[in-house]
Amino acid sequence: MRIVIIGNGIAGTNAARYIRKQSDHEVIMISEETLQPFSRTALMYIYMGHLKQENTWMYEDWFWAKNRIQRVQARVEKVLTADKTLLLHTGEQLTYDQLIIATGSKPNKFGWPGQDLPGVQGLYHLQDLATMEQYSAGLQHAIIVGGGLIGIEMAEMFHSRHIPVTFLVRESSFWNSVLPPEESEMINRHIREQGIDLRLSTELSSIHGSERVESIETNSGERIHCGFVGLTVGVSPNIDFLKDSGIETRHGVLVDEYLRASAPDVYAIGDCAQLRAPGPGRRAIEAIWYTGRMMGQTVARNICAEPAPYQPRLWFNSAKFFDIEYQVYGDIPAQTPEGVTSLYWEHTDGKKAIRINYETHSGAVRGFNLMGVRYRHEVCERWILEKKHIEIVLSELSSANFDPEFYDRYELNLAKQYYSRTEKTNHHVKAI
Amino acid sequence: MSKQYDPSLALVQVNHLNTGQKISAAIGSLGLGILLFAWAAQQAPMPGIWLPTALLSLTVGVLGYAHFTYKDSPAGIKNNGVMFHSLSNRGLWAYVAGVLLTGFYVCLYWYADYLKGLIALFEPLSQWARHRPSDQWFVYGSLYTLGVLILGAKFIYKYRHNRYQIIRTVSVMFFQFVFAWLVPAWMQMMNQPEFYFTYFWPLKYDYLFPSTVNWLTNSTHLGVFLIFWGAVMTFVATPVLTYFFGKRWYCSWVCGCGALAETTGDSFRTLSDKSLSAWKIERYLIYSVLVFIVLVTILLWANSYKEGAILGEWSQTASKTYSFLIGSIFSGVIGTGFYPILGNRSWCRFGCPQAAILGIFQKYFSRFRITTNGGQCISCGNCSTYCEMGIDVKAYAQRGQDIVRASCVGCGICSAVCPRGVLRLENGSVDIFDRGSLVRNEH
């Protein structure tokens, strides 16, 4: 049986790896972007000079031969589901028995005037990095539009090359659709501390230039000169090539809980997959690294072993905002809902914080938000799944700490805050 | 076909130096210039003011450079441009530094005559510190210690947000300065043998050779204690401390080779080869060296016992061969001279027999391991890239596996550079395979 995977990001790569673990099927992985699967999340470090391109490769070269995973660098123009055939840009055809679509995302553009000028781009593919590099030569000023994870990464990238950045964020505070107000404000401060010109509640109106971008205008009418505009206003599934393929799509490729698309023997995973029925509290498209990785694993089992539904377990994610690391486990919404209490402690240096949300009545913990502090994934997950009472969690909190040795511990501060607030005296504090 | 990324484009605006950095570099160059001049001039005596000028300007230059590099940015990981710099990236400056360093080692071991000027330069310091004339070993030890101290200070500035790195670096600086420079100098001043308390057999291979044992026991009333100290460190402290803390208690906290690697060599840590084939070579080489020194030591003692009757010539040849090939060429000329080409730990990784023993303990009888944090790894590669021992840390982290490797010196840089908080150095008592199996990926 021949399994063809379109896309060699984390979802496609993990699918290939797990198919090989469980079967002897022929595996072919096609990518237009690069022959060598690499870590997309590390693109920024190549630009910043922390890593070379080969440092971001997922596996050494021998790995692919040893595991008999064929790699093809080509663009898939069309998927003929009736014939189970792919048309490549070279004119070649490739048949499949099972097809896995893992083509990821592409950066959004919202129809701004001038958005297609040279020097205006997002950051997703390796090729985006190449053009970013090209436009960095002699660059005097860069504009970043969009207050999310890629936006702040791009700001950090230019900052590392001493290129001044103006960072336009539509919202009143950085990433405040995800981060609660205190954490969001912490990142605002940290961005400004780096010397980045952060403009909150500011939108892009238009982009101007002749040969290349020369300036932008904001919604307040201000004109800012620049040689580069980074558009980082989210991503959408990269599935244009599936038009007329007969595979049902909406924003992404629609898949059931087994990650099956509408056409027979076709699956979709990662950023480009849209779940018809996402689990409770989950979104239909979750364009993050970890879900792609888990979907790759699930699809491999579905094809090679017994059908198993995609179960992404408890939500978790992480990021790094300049020097502040961020980890989240479980449910920490930007606005704390009714019936939930949020225990928040922040270090006096304003760069570390711990938040634990718990149900006000039952005391069951629901989620952890960590800024500048590392907590153990497995411990936090177990507490949340077992609905552990906040006071038990506080008494055992040090077992979640994952900071390096000799670091200050803040578990006691959190417990003190909790008990001073609830005016309870409790023996648990002593146990820490 | 779409356009490929071309890393050579990345040479724009990356070698930006501010005024403070430029002035500091100029001051440091003055110090380096005096040393190079003294080396080239080959004459004695040297003006007395030159040595303090050289050492002071090197210190001010390095500390000033660090200050103007890090002062304006908040504490955090500062690896911007590492892959673009000529010195840290096998460029022209790396080869210039490599040639100078290897040249110095060749002179040091075999052509000390060519170091006359440098030896004369250090005469006042030698007289002050140990009441005896300067020689090439004093020059070497002093420059080595200076490197550890001033580049250690730079390292601390760079990692000032990370208390593990600060304490560890203070530790190597302390052991180098006190036990590898000050105490041996004092002992010589007191007419005692020049003894290094922080080096033991088999790294300091001759400390258990019959000739050294006889020399120590005959030359001083301290001799028996010194031999006892060395034997206890080799046979008792090494296994016990390694059981509790891993080999890091020595390799990245105490050892002088480690001290130089972690401080002066920090800029070269990315150069270590991470490939599987390099790991294979490592295992063949390091255990061969260990077998070599064990055999040589046994041979020497057998010979000594037989009073040279049978193995006389043979054992001397064996020990001389070891001393030439391993003691000088491998650990010195290649191990340190090739810092800018092979990375800062090539001796520790491929050659050091002490590391080999510590590594065996670490792998099979130690509580030390690096644990990974559930599923948070994004395979970015920072951990592997900045591992000076060439361990492909990412290969473990992206599978959610703990890292238990003989070669890991526990420097903790993988954990520091990880942008997702995935890695932690631990001395755990719980079996690694029992923990967190639920959330781990299948592997």
- Asked if pLDDT for residue B308 goes beyond 90, the answer is no
What one-character DSSP code corresponds to residue A418? H
The mean per-residue pLDDT over the stretch B125-153 comes to 96
A199-250, pLDDT tens digit by residue? 999 999 999 999 999 999 999 999 999 999 999 999 999 999 999 999 999 9
pLDDT of residue B434: 52
The mean per-residue pLDDT over the stretch A83-107 comes to 97
Contact call for residues A339 and A360 (beta carbons, < 8 A)? yes
CB-based burial of residue A250 (10 Å sphere; 0-12 exposed, 13-18 middle, 19+ buried)? exposed
> Cα distance from B62 to chain A (closest Cα, Å)?
22
CATH number of the domain to which A415 belongs: 3.30.390.30
Both A382 and A398 in one domain: the answer is yes
B43 confidence band (pLDDT: 50, 70, 90): confident
Q: Which residue in B314, B310, B313, B318 sits closest to B292, CA to CA?
A: B318
Both A188 and A244 in one domain: the answer is no
CB-based burial of residue B309 (10 Å sphere; 0-12 exposed, 13-18 middle, 19+ buried)? exposed
Structure tokens at B353: 């027999």
Is residue A176 helix, strand or coil? coil
- Asked if pLDDT for residue B229 goes beyond 80, the answer is yes
B7 touches chain A (CB under 8 A): yes
Q: pTM for this structure?
A: 0.94
- Domains of chain B, earliest start first: 368-434 (3.30.70.20)
pLDDT of residue A145: 97
Both A240 and A101 in one domain: the answer is yes
Inter-chain contact A39–B381, Cβ cutoff 8 Å? yes
Both A346 and A268 in one domain: the answer is no
Both A208 and A261 in one domain: the answer is no
Contact call for residues B404 and B431 (beta carbons, < 8 A)? no
CA-to-CA distance for A371 and A347, rounded, in angstroms?
Answer: 10
CB < 8 Å from B in window 268-327 of A: 289-290, 293-294, 297, 313, 316, 318-320, 322-323, 325, 327
- Asked if pLDDT for residue A432 goes beyond 80, the answer is no
A26-62, pLDDT tens digit by residue? 999 999 999 999 999 999 999 999 999 999 999 999 9
Among A209, A233, A257, which residue terminates a domain? A233
- Asked if pLDDT for residue A430 goes beyond 70, the answer is no
Please list, residue by residue across A200-213, b when 16 or more beta carbons sit within 10 angstroms of its beta carbon and e when fewer do: bebbbeebebeeeb
- Asked if pLDDT for residue B4 goes beyond 80, the answer is no
A140 touches chain B (CB under 8 A): no
| A10, A327, A351: residue with CB nearest B376 | A327
Inter-chain contact A136–B12, Cβ cutoff 8 Å? yes
B381 touches chain A (CB under 8 A): yes
Q: Which residue in B191, B195, B217 sits closest to B204, CA to CA?
A: B195
Percent of chain A, pLDDT > 70?
Answer: 97
Which domain range does residue A71 map to?
2-106+236-304
Inter-chain contact A381–B439, Cβ cutoff 8 Å? yes
Report the 3 state secondary structure along B69-115: HHCCCCCCCCCCCCCCCCHHHCCHHHHHHHHHHHHHHHHHHHCHHHH
Indicate the number of domains in chain A. Answer: 3
Domain for residue A113, yes or no?
no
How do strand A228-231 and strand A120-121 relate by DSSP bridges? parallel
What one-character DSSP code corresponds to residue A226? -
Both A328 and A291 in one domain: the answer is no
Among A256, A282, A304, which residue terminates a domain? A304
Radius of gyration for the alpha carbons in chain A, expressed in angstroms and rounded: 23
Inter-chain contact A404–B10, Cβ cutoff 8 Å? no
Inter-chain contact B9–A134, Cβ cutoff 8 Å? yes
pLDDT of residue B303: 84
Q: What is the mean pLDDT of chain A?
A: 95
CA-to-CA distance for B247 and B128, rounded, in angstroms?
Answer: 36
Is residue A29 helix, strand or coil? strand
Q: Which residue in A161, A169, A117 sits closest to A143, CA to CA?
A: A169
Report the residue of B370, B376, B414 to disrupt the A interface, i.e. the one with the largest count of A CBs within 10 Å. Answer: B376
Both A253 and A184 in one domain: the answer is no
Domain for residue A111, yes or no?
no
Kindly identify which residue of chain B lies nearest to residue A58, measuring between CA atoms.
Answer: B379
CA-to-CA distance for B131 and B437, rounded, in angstroms?
Answer: 62
